[in-house]
Structure formats: structure tokens, C-alpha cells
Amino acid sequence: MVEAIDPFAPWQLRGLELRNRFIKAATFEGHCPGGRPDPEGLAAFHKAFAKGGVGLCTVSYGAVEPSGRTFDNQMCLQDDILDDLRYVTDTIHSQGAKAAIQLAHCGNTSKWHGWIGKRARGPSHGFNSLGALAGTPFARALRVDELRDLAEAYKSSAQRAIEAGFDALELHMGHGYLLSQFLSPGVNKRKDQYGGSLENRARFPLEILKAVRAGVGTQVPIIIKMNLRDGFRGGLEIEDSIQAAKLFEQNQADALVLSGGFTSKNAMYLFRGPTFVHELIKVQKRKIDKLIYLMAKPALKSQPFEELYFLDLAKQLRAQVSLPLICVGGVQSLSSVHRALREGYQAVQIGRALIHDPALVNHYREGSKTESGCTVCNLCVAEMDRDGVRCVLNDALPRRIPATRV
């Protein structure tokens, strides 16, 4: 009989010992005005989860270059923010947790304001629905020399992150961001060696994985967040994601976070539950941003929620891939944690339930709670544009405070 995995026991990921199998999922914090971390705000945000018992805390969305941002308040991983980031990692470490950072680029959905008059860049030419009103209505195809530059940008950003004290890296290859755009047959229409077959579509994501590995060496765990399905007709399907996962396995990835959905086309496939678009429109200060979200309404249609909503697809991948798998999507109770580990995952990532109660892991361990009080209303998402991501039902997380160290 296979022994049940204890989620509260230490877990080893490529030499990195985590105190348990609970990971705070990357959830954009809204604490990086102008692309620079507000160190006190970002540290206080993550301290809550580290103190609350998670083994690994993921700082979200570190763009590898300025145009890799969909919002200008997403972090840009440049040299001049390393002291601030070190303050964040020191804070996480002081609570006994380890720190990961998500490395990302938004590709064809860039609406970074410094980019006005230029085109966003992705695998292929196309309309940039998210950037249309912000001055970047079109995306053009990246040239091969630009792909090389981007691989360098990922590599140097990864090195900076390690210098700033992060223990692990998460490469964002899901949710319709740049590397997910390359993997997706619905978006990647290239005719060269980077388009067509899955092997070709996975070529650039693999080049990024190899560049990052070369940059940080063999000791640092590299986690890949990827889509099981894009969730729209013509997008990536499970057969291809299994093949991609095998390629990541052969190329020294350490674990896969299995998600789905495409922010520009069907964002609610990744969240499930009621749409937050009305609240998002309400919190925008500028008319143009209100209009952008009004235009994005069709991509933000509500979808039914159930716990562990990616489990069935993940089981198909589990049957063919032996890498550690990390469950994300609807881990809302301790029984779901145990179920995920029984079904073949090695760890869980939690987003909304921890935003509602950052000490949830401690509560589970002590037996004072077995379920999250999160109602999956999804309104936490809109808070990123108000005072920083937090649960609207309580004040468990700090609101945005003015930067004191910049």
C-alpha cells in the first residue's frame, strides 16, 4: 500500500528543504508602483503568509524587461531594486519560510506606457486587445535575434533574483503570457522553427529554461507554471501539454504547477467563479483604463467553480510524467489538500484561500480550521488596483503604504 503523504512534513525540492508542502501561489500584489517594489508593503504582504505557516512563498510577476509588463505597477527585475527585494526575502526567511519569485513576460499583451507608439511583441502578429486603448493596439512577431535577447534577459533576471536572496524560481509559462503564447497553437502562427509542431512551439520556452538553468547553476529549484489547457477553441490541449511537460522533465525542470486559462481570452478559466470585471472597472481611476476593462468584458465571463478544478486534467498528465507536480486551483479545504496528494500531486499552491486567511496553514496544522472561509467572490483581484491585493471580507493583509526605502 502507498503511504499517504503528510502535507505538514518537510519536503525536499532539488536540495532545498521546505518545512511543509504548502506554497503561497503567485498572486500579483499591487505593491510595486512604477515597477519598483515598495519594500515595506511587499515585505509585510509576504510576511503574513510566511508567519502563517507556508513552506514556500512566491513573490509574483517579476518582469524580465520593462515591456514584459501588462501594468506599469508590475515589478521589473532590474539591478536597482535588489536591495529592496533582499529586504523582502530576509523578511520571508525570518519567519521560517523559503522564498520563490515568478519570472514573467507578457508578450503580445504589453500595455506598458513607455511603449506607446511601438508595438507589443509576441510569437506572431496580432491585435493586442489589452493594449489597444493604451497605445499598443497591435503586436508584432519577435525576431529570432530578439528571442536570444529575451533568453539573456530571463537569465540575468534569474541571477539577480538569486542575488536578492530567493531560494527558488518559478517560470511563468501559463495563463497566456509570453511563453504560454509560444506554446499555444491558437496564438503562435509562426512558420519558422518556433511554430507549428509542439516540439517547435516548445522550443523558445525550453531555450528559456536552459538559459535560466545555465545562469543559476544546478542547485536552484526551477518550477514551471504551465497550462494543462488554454481553455479556448484552437488553444493548447492536454495532449500537447503532456508532451511539453515531458520536454521540461528532460531539461532539468524540478516541478510543474498545473494551471490553465488565457488572460486575454478567458481569464475566468484560471480562476473560476464569478467575474470581477465590474469591480475592476469601478476601481480604475483613469477613464481610459475603465474603457480597457469594458472592452475586456467578454474575456472575463464567470465560470462554475469546484474545488481542485484542474484535477481531472492533471491526472492525465500524472500518468505520463514523473516530475513533482504542484496543484493549484481551488484548494479551499484541508480535505482537498489530502485529496490532491493522494491523486498524485506532491505539493499544493494556494492563492485566494491564503489571501482570505494568511495563517490558514497554521490553522490546518493546529486543527483549529479544516476549511477556508474564502467565498471565491474573486473581488480580491480588483483590489490590486485599489490599495493592494487583500480580501474584501477582512483586513488580514496590509494595504498599500507609501514607499519608505526608495
Would you name the residues annotated as active-site residues?
177
User: Three-class SS of residue 378?
Assistant: coil
Comparison of 76 and 350: residue with beta carbon closer to ligand FMN: 350
Strand positions, DSSP E, 236-354: 255-259, 325-327, 347-350
Task: List residues binding ligand FMN (CB under 6 A).
Answer: 25-28, 60-61, 102, 172, 175, 225, 259, 270-271, 328-331, 350-353, 380-381, 384, 389
The answer to whether the beta carbons of residues 92 and 157 sit under 8 Å apart is no
The distance of closest approach from Cβ of residue 170 to ligand FMN in the complex, given in angstroms and rounded to an integer, is 8
Comparison of 41 and 195: residue with beta carbon closer to ligand FMN: 41
Comparison of 120 and 355: residue with beta carbon closer to ligand FMN: 355
The distance of closest approach from Cβ of residue 25 to ligand FMN in the complex, given in angstroms and rounded to an integer, is 4
Comparison of 48 and 331: residue with beta carbon closer to ligand FMN: 331
Comparison of 141 and 270: residue with beta carbon closer to ligand FMN: 270
CA dist., res. 67 & res. 113, Å (int): 9
Helix axes 144-163, 203-216, angle to 10 degrees: 40
* CA 159 from centroid of its chain's CA atoms: 19
CA dist., res. 125 & res. 292, Å (int): 20
Burial class of residue 335 (count of CB atoms within 10 Å of its CB; 0-12, 13-18, 19+) = exposed
What is the strand order of the sheet 138-141 is part of? 120-122, 138-141, 126-127
The distance of closest approach from Cβ of residue 195 to ligand FMN in the complex, given in angstroms and rounded to an integer, is 24
Which residue number is nearest to ligand FMN in terms of Cβ? 351
Q: Which long-range contacts (CB under 8 A, 24 or more apart) does 333-336 make?
A: 333/307, 333/370, 333/371, 333/372, 334/364, 334/369, 334/370, 334/371, 335/370, 336/307, 336/308
Please compute Rg for the chain using Cα positions.
19
C-alpha distance across the termini of the chain, in Å: 56
The distance of closest approach from Cβ of residue 3 to ligand FMN in the complex, given in angstroms and rounded to an integer, is 26
The distance of closest approach from Cβ of residue 257 to ligand FMN in the complex, given in angstroms and rounded to an integer, is 8
